[in-house]
């Protein structure tokens, strides 16, 4: 049977979630679609949970690796194992909405190099909606040629979510990937390192439900969003400066407001200051950055909570959620979350 689409999942230590992910779409899988999971040598019950799926679903294949190659390496392996014309780089803890796979198949009829899928963001237990759609506009959108730079400016920040990506397999394999191992965003590096993409289509309707705050890298958020992600985006010299700035500032850690936010959620302390900030900045900002790193976490959490409270309607639900569930969370932060309807 001809395989039009491969749903490629890289997984590590997701025994508590991967079954629900597969159950959200495997029972109603359309013809011409395969599903494969590359397990990076998980030490939990992942293997025990996934092996029965191979027996029950002929379209499902489980690859258990003997060693962990990291998230980037395992997604690259998944594309290598795939047989489909297109690969959907799906996550291992989120859910697909009913009919999502068929909708993707239908959209692939326009033959894009890249299809970008919209997603709803919910709390980790899925009980509250944080963002109804990470990309907000009406109607589907197509980008070709020079307009791909416009696509990147408008949607680049959302592409950090790998589950949004459905890529032509031949395009992926034609690009350099080794250089992006360890970035945590191999899909962005592989797809946008050059002007290889000819056409991109974006689906407006959210087809994925994201469990926000469940990512394996949550504890490394300060490093990732202030250093790794900006370094990757700013390496794309073929995009204009304005395009890259629309996605992220080159050095976002130079904002005191940003440092205060990460201190408030417990992501910035003396150790992050020593490892990432101190080698890159000079006085007087160095002193400010150190003061924030050592400020009482609960006090900063309360102060940032009061700031969000004062501008409740404009406060991003995701930021409020992070503030309320931080290890040094205060009553103020939790009350703001309650008033936002997310706790």
Tell me which residue of 43, 35, 55 sits closest to 15, measured CA to CA. 43
Confidence of residue 16 (pLDDT cuts 50, 70, 90): very high
**Is 337's pLDDT higher than 90?**
yes
Confidence of residue 343 (pLDDT cuts 50, 70, 90): confident
Its pTM stands at 0.94
Q: How confident is the model over 3-30, as a mean pLDDT?
A: 97
Cα(297)–Cα(262) distance, integer angstroms: 10
Cα(237)–Cα(38) distance, integer angstroms: 33
Alpha-carbon distances of 182 from 258, 267, 304, rounded to whole Å: 24, 20, 32
Those residues whose C-beta lies under 8 Å from the C-beta of residue 248, and which sit 6 or more positions away, are: 156, 157, 225, 229, 230, 233, 234
Alpha-carbon distances of 144 from 40, 116, 154, 157, 252, rounded to whole Å: 36, 14, 14, 19, 30
| Sequential DSSP letters for 310-321 | HTGGGS-HHHHH
Residues 54 and 6: beta-carbon distance below 8 Å: no
Confidence of residue 183 (pLDDT cuts 50, 70, 90): very high
87-129 confidence digits (pLDDT tens): 999 999 999 999 999 999 999 999 999 999 999 999 999 999 9
Q: How confident is the model over 280-300, as a mean pLDDT?
A: 96
Specify the pLDDT at position 17: 96
Specify the pLDDT at position 213: 85
Which domains are present in the chain? 5-211 (3.90.550.10), 221-339 (no CATH)
Cα(152)–Cα(108) distance, integer angstroms: 20
Cα(70)–Cα(224) distance, integer angstroms: 15
Give the DSSP H or E segment for 46: helix 46-56
Instruction: Give φ, ψ of 279 to 5 degrees.
Output: -70, -10
Q: Where are the beta strands (DSSP E) in the chain?
A: 5-11, 33-39, 60-64, 86-90, 95-96, 114-122, 129-131, 141-144, 165-168, 199-211
Cα(285)–Cα(283) distance, integer angstroms: 5
Residues 221 and 160: beta-carbon distance below 8 Å: no
Alpha-carbon distances of 268 from 79, 89, 126, 300, rounded to whole Å: 35, 31, 27, 11
Omega prior to 215 cis, within 30 of 0: no
243-276 confidence digits (pLDDT tens): 999 999 999 999 999 999 999 999 999 999 999 9
Give just the sign of the alpha carbon dihedral 75, 80, 82, 84.
positive
Cα(251)–Cα(301) distance, integer angstroms: 23
**Is 217's pLDDT higher than 70?**
no
Q: How confident is the model over 17-23, as a mean pLDDT?
A: 97
Residues of the chain with pLDDT > 70, as a percent, come to: 99
């Amino acid at each position: 049977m001809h395989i039009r689409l491969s749903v490629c999942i890289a997984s590590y230590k997701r025994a508590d979630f991967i079954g629900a992910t597969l159950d959200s779409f495997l029972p109603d899988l359309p013809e011409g679609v395969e599903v494969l999971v590359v397990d990076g040598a998980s030490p939990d019950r992942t293997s025990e949970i996934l092996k029965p799926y191979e027996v029950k679903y002929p379209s499902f294949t489980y690859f258990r690796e003997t060693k962990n190659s990291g998230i980037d390496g395992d997604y690259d392996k998944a594309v290598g194992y795939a047989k489909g014309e297109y690969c959907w780089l799906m996550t291992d803890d989120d859910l697909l909405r009913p009919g999502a796979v068929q909708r993707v198949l239908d959209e692939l009829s326009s033959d894009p190099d890249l299809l970008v899928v919209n997603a709803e963001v919910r709390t980790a237990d899925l009980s509250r909606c944080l963002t109804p759609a990470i990309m907000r506009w009406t109607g589907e959108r197509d980008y070709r040629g020079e307009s791909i730079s416009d696509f990147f400016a408008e949607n680049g920040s959302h592409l950090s979510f790998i589950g949004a990506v459905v890529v032509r397999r031949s395009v992926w394999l034609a690009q350099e990937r080794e250089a992006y191992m360890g970035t945590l965003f191999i899909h962005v590096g592989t797809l946008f390192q050059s002007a290889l993409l000819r056409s991109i289509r974006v689906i407006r309707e959210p087809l994925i439900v994201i469990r926000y705050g469940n990512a394996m890298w949550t504890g490394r958020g300060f490093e990732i969003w202030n250093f790794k992600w900006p370094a990757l985006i700013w390496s794309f010299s073929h995009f204009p400066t304005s395009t890259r700035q629309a996605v992220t500032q080159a050095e976002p850690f130079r904002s005191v407001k940003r440092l205060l936010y990460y201190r408030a959620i417990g992501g910035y302390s003396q150790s992050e200051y020593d490892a990432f900030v101190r080698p890159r900045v000079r006085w007087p900002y160095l002193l400010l950055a150190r003061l924030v790193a050592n400020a009482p976490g609960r006090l900063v959490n309360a102060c940032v909570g009061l700031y969000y409270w004062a501008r409740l309607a404009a406060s991003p639900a995701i930021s409020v959620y992070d503030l309320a569930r931080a290890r040094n969370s205060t009553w103020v932060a939790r009350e703001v979350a309650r008033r936002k309807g997310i706790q």
